[in-house]
Structure 1
Amino acid sequence: MVPVTLNIWQQGKDGNMKNSKNVIVLTGAGQLGMAIARRMGYGNKIFVADWKIENAQAISKTLTEAGFDVVPFKVDISSRESVQSLIKAARKEGEIAIFINAAGVSPSQASIEQILKVDLYGTSLLLEEFGKVIKYGGTAVVISSQSGYRMPALTADEDRLLATTPTEQLLQLELLKPENIKDTLHAYQMAKRANGKRVMAEAVKWGERGARVNAISPGIIITPLALDEINGPRGDFYRNMFAKSPAGRPGIADEVANVAELLLSNAGAFITGSDFLIDGGATASYFYGPLQPENR
């Protein structure tokens, strides 16, 4: 698969032609995002953005030492002003050709309100703002989660509301009000269900710019955060999940990057508005195998 690496030549104020690279923007400075950026980054300018600048700097250092052209950037994806500042900085370097959103918080990291603000509202905000500026032929992936598949089905009307409600009105929906959210896991599941629906709806808008957007929903992928979870109080739950899945193991970041590379490259030119479940069959086992809840 061949990443998008075509450079654009623009005329400067002095009349001379200058080289302007395509730009990749990664939000969420973690192992998953870095694995994807490495696949697509050759010949492009990469912005690595995170709400903790030290995380962005650490990933940027690793990529820079591997020969990539990288800029660390601080961003709060739940702030429209902050996201717009990131986009403005990136566009000074060239056209945004690839967007990767791997940002988010987990049920054990944050409150119900934080999860909905970052994982649900934040993702919607990113899709909206990057959808305004993504170049013709540009692509994007949103890292969601298998958790979006683990909750009972919503009604068609509820799915439509999650997909199409204007971003600034999303958190006012009845099904997202705090009294209707059981706990942080439920909030996380709702956020990830919404991610898939927003990607479907945004794919229609992005298509008007000749651009594509898809989601990836990983299961347990070995990262520093996952290792903390596996070795923490809920470790038995996670070990049981991958032990009883068809694959019998957790995944690694490069396996997610394999799919992302397809979706972000020309090899995936006919794929948009889709959500790819990559969980070693854990969700299949949850519904039809040994992981089925006893009280179902």
Structure 2
Amino acid sequence: MKHISVITGGGSGIGLAAAKYIGTTNHVIVVGRTVSKLEAAIEELKGLGISAESFPCDASNRESVRKLAKYAASCGTVKSVVHAAGMSPHMAGAEMLFRVNAMSCIYINEEFAKVMDPGGCIIDISSMSAYMMPEEHLPVADYNLSLTDAQAFEETILARLKQVPENMAANFAYAISKNFIVWYAKRSSYLCGKKGIRVLSVSPGTFATPMGDLEGEEAAGIAKQGSLGRVGDPEEIAVLLNFLVSKAASYLTGTDILCDGGAIAGMLYAQGGR
């Protein structure tokens, strides 16, 4: 059967870069909400000789994700899912940010675990922001709800966000959602591991992508103060993602890979090694 790789947020940035590598050995289904971006991505991928198609999907809606998983499975054997769809504080308010970043992770992992065979791999894309807020300021104690009652988890976190001053809520929602992704991927790896499915998270730093451009000089400044002193090229993380979904990484699961050019290391150094 045809080997399928599903890449959310595949219309641009890290998702599209990953599709160019993963697509050399798999049929790629590029997923997103903006049809025009998906069409442009497919044209570019096919121009490179990659077997690809698009599927519009709102990953923050479980039913939409369920339809995506069902369709992907009907096309062949789903070998990998790279969940790169997400939003930054410059793109949406706190509530939407949390739903798109965190709730989508739950839906993607749960629904694709139902249709994937042993040997498959799910990668949830987080952010170096997962490491930037002290854990005591994050509602980590509420994360366990996500494993038993996703709706209750959503309602609990959204209620917390409403208590945050409006001018700070989006940034707080972003930090929570990205920290949660790292946490959730580890728990998913245990649950999915019983089915022979690997689950990892990858936390990118600042890359030269449309989202990176939206983050502006602040994000670029953090990157430039890091170990390598520069912003990353999307190809540098695409190569990593291609390796992680391959058989060569078959014993790697349940961990987060921080791919940030040493930005977090630079911050820790500046803070005296905290």
Tell me if TM exceeds 0.5: yes
After superposition, residues 60-139 of structure 1 pair within 5 angstroms as 60-139=42-121
Is the Cα–Cα contact under 8 Å of residues 30 and 52 in structure 2 kept in the other structure?
A: yes
> 3-state DSSP class of the match of 1:133?
coil
- Counterpart position of 2:197: 211
- Counterpart position of 1:278: 259
After superposition, residues 35-54 of structure 1 pair within 5 angstroms as 35-54=17-36
> 3-state DSSP class of the match of 1:288?
helix
- Compare the two structures and name the one with the higher helix fraction: 2
> 3-state DSSP class of the match of 1:26?
strand
Q: Cα offset for 1:278?
A: 1.0
Take 2:260 and 2:25, find their aligned partners in 1: how far apart are those partners? Answer: 31
Is the Cα–Cα contact under 8 Å of residues 8 and 32 in structure 2 kept in the other structure?
A: yes
Q: Cα offset for 1:26?
A: 0.9
- Counterpart position of 2:237: 256
Is the Cα–Cα contact under 8 Å of residues 200 and 274 in structure 1 kept in the other structure?
A: yes
- Counterpart position of 1:12: none
Distance change in 2, residues 1:160/1:82 (3 Å):
closer
Q: Does 1:186 align with 2:183?
A: no
Take 1:165 and 1:140, find their aligned partners in 2: how far apart are those partners? Answer: 20
Q: Deviations over 1:65-103 (max 9, x none)?
A: 111111111100111111111122222211211111110
Which of residues 153, 156, 163 is equivalent to 1:173?
A: 156
TM-score (norm 1): 0.84
Take 1:225 and 1:197, find their aligned partners in 2: how far apart are those partners? Answer: 23
Which of residues 249, 253, 256 is equivalent to 1:268?
A: 249
Partner amino acid, structure 1, of 2:14 = L
Which of residues 132, 136, 149 is equivalent to 1:150?
A: 132
Q: Deviations over 1:193-227 (max 9, x none)?
A: 10011101110121111110111101101112322
* Aligned-residue CA RMSD (Å): 2.2
Is the Cα–Cα contact under 8 Å of residues 105 and 118 in structure 1 kept in the other structure?
A: yes
Q: Cα offset for 1:45?
A: 1.9
Q: Does 1:199 align with 2:181?
A: no
Q: Cα offset for 1:288?
A: 2.5
Is the Cα–Cα contact under 8 Å of residues 174 and 180 in structure 1 kept in the other structure?
A: no
Q: Which has the larger radius of gyration?
A: 1
Is the Cα–Cα contact under 8 Å of residues 202 and 256 in structure 2 kept in the other structure?
A: yes
Take 2:258 and 2:145, find their aligned partners in 1: how far apart are those partners? Answer: 19
Q: Does 1:22 align with 2:3?
A: yes
Take 2:140 and 2:43, find their aligned partners in 1: how far apart are those partners? Answer: 46
Take 2:76 and 2:87, find their aligned partners in 1: how far apart are those partners? Answer: 30
Is the Cα–Cα contact under 8 Å of residues 131 and 205 in structure 1 kept in the other structure?
A: no
Distance change in 2, residues 1:204/1:22 (3 Å):
same
- Counterpart position of 1:226: 212
TM-score (norm 2): 0.90
Unmatched runs of 5 consecutive residues or more in structure 2: none
Unmatched runs of 5 consecutive residues or more in structure 1: 1-7, 9-20
Aligned length: 268
